[in-house]
Amino acid sequence: MKLCIYGASSSAIDAVYTDTVYVLGKTLGQRGHSLIFGGGAHGLMGAAARGTADGGGEVIGVAPRFFDRDGILWENCTQLILTDTMRQRKQKMEELADGFLMVPGGIGTYEEFFEILTLKQLGRHSKPIALLNVAGYFDPLEDMLSATVRKGFMKPACLQLYAAFSDAESALSYFEHYSAPETGWEGLKYP
């Protein structure tokens, strides 16, 4: 399995996040899976890459050429794919990945998550999507999505398009045993 992990590029975050995502990556590699990620050397992107490599897994970075400067990209990728734009980067990650896992991050991470979630809602893919809710980081996001349903802006079935987990083991098991539901996108959108 090739798992795309979206996450922070910042190193100015608490070690609980970095340590948890490193273990996630290491477990991913030990289970014989590959990492697809944004190519970054720092933050949770770097932690996932180091962990996956330490676990014996393949690490595939996908980054726009303008990030190819000293210290930005992780130098030990099994494969590094450079694109011209951020849009091409996301498309390439989507094509390569068998599933998508969001770990804590900022606006770029949210943007990637919401795009892949929207594409699933619209029936453009049926791949698994999950959140790794480290130390309750995504609790406000979960509250916001629930409020979106309560206020009629999104159908309740949309909350089933992804799953949330508090530990790496459960998240990886979800991806390993996932089978896509046979529902059409029409039931996920209001007219």
pLDDT in tens, 105-151: 999 999 999 999 999 999 999 999 999 999 999 999 999 999 999 99
Q: Which two tokens stand for residue 173?
A: 């098991």
Give the pLDDT of residue 186. 62
User: Is the distance from CB of 44 to CB of 7 less than 8 angstroms?
Assistant: yes
The model scores a pTM over 0.85: yes
Tens of pLDDT along 90-99?
999 999 999 9
Note the pLDDT of residue 188: 72
Question: What is the pLDDT, as a whole number, of residue 180?
Answer: 84
Q: What percentage of the chain exceeds 90 in pLDDT?
A: 90
* Per-position DSSP letters for the chain, written without gaps between them: -EEEEE----S-S-HHHHHHHHHHHHHHHHTT-EEEE--BSSHHHHHHHHHHHHTT--EEEEEEGGG-STTTB-TT-SEEEEESSHHHHHHHHHHH-SEEEE-S--HHHHHHHHHHHHHHHTTS----EEEE-GGGTTHHHHHHHHHHHHTTSS-GGGGGSSEEESSHHHHHHHHHT-------GGGGS--
pLDDT < 70: residue spans in the chain: 182-187, 191
